[in-house]
Amino acid sequence: MNKIAYLYVFDTMADWEIGYLTAELNSGRYFKKGANKYTVRTVGLTSEPLVTMGGVRIIPDISLGICTSDNAGVLLLPGGDTWLDPIHGPVMEKAKEFLHADILVAAICGATLCLAQAGLLNDREHTSNDLDYMKAVIPGYTGGSLYRHEPAVADRKLITASGIAPLEFTHMVLQELDVFSPQALEAWYKLYRTHDAEYFYALMGSLQN
């Protein structure tokens, strides 16, 4: 089955935080047999061009208003400098819609702050960049007891991650989507984590099974 990985794009988006993930989802190069195929589709608040933190100019494939949960596999929310701005309110409504439809939502770095602001982290285990900072900037946040000091956390179709953990974020999303075999996922993660060539050969070997 073909699924869509919706990538929310906006001015100041942190390009590098989702690079590992979008490359693997869109290419499917290490997917196990029978896994859903994914197409990455960028979605903006409007269809107007925007510029990422890295200076990359992007024209969104679609606007948020016509993004639906039909055939969606995941909604990806990268970090950026503007997540505490009310402008992102509509994408939080979209995140709620996706979660209600049992579709994975994955947020990293600053995007977790907006989730907290929307009340989506008050009853789920989660992480972010720093608990004290989250408490300081999100007055309505009451999920402190569920905060986990880990690189990435998954709970009921919602993944959150620290901005310094794009690799762990990718690992957890790939695991939740169940597109790699366990052997391939472990080898892939260790290859990028350790830079040891033995895991490249382990990854290639896992694809023969």
> Quick one: CA dihedral 55, 56, 57, 61, positive or negative?
negative
What Å distances lie between residue 131 and 38, 124, 139, 142, 172, CA to CA?
Answer: 33, 14, 13, 11, 21
> What single-letter DSSP state applies at residue 126?
B
Dist. CA 209–CA 202, nearest whole Å: 11
Residues 6+ apart with CB under 8 A from 130: none
Q: Which residues are identified as catalytic?
A: 109
* CB 72 within 8 Å of CB 104: no
Rounded to 10 degrees, the C-alpha dihedral 174/177/180/184 comes to: 40
Dist. CA 45–CA 176, nearest whole Å: 26
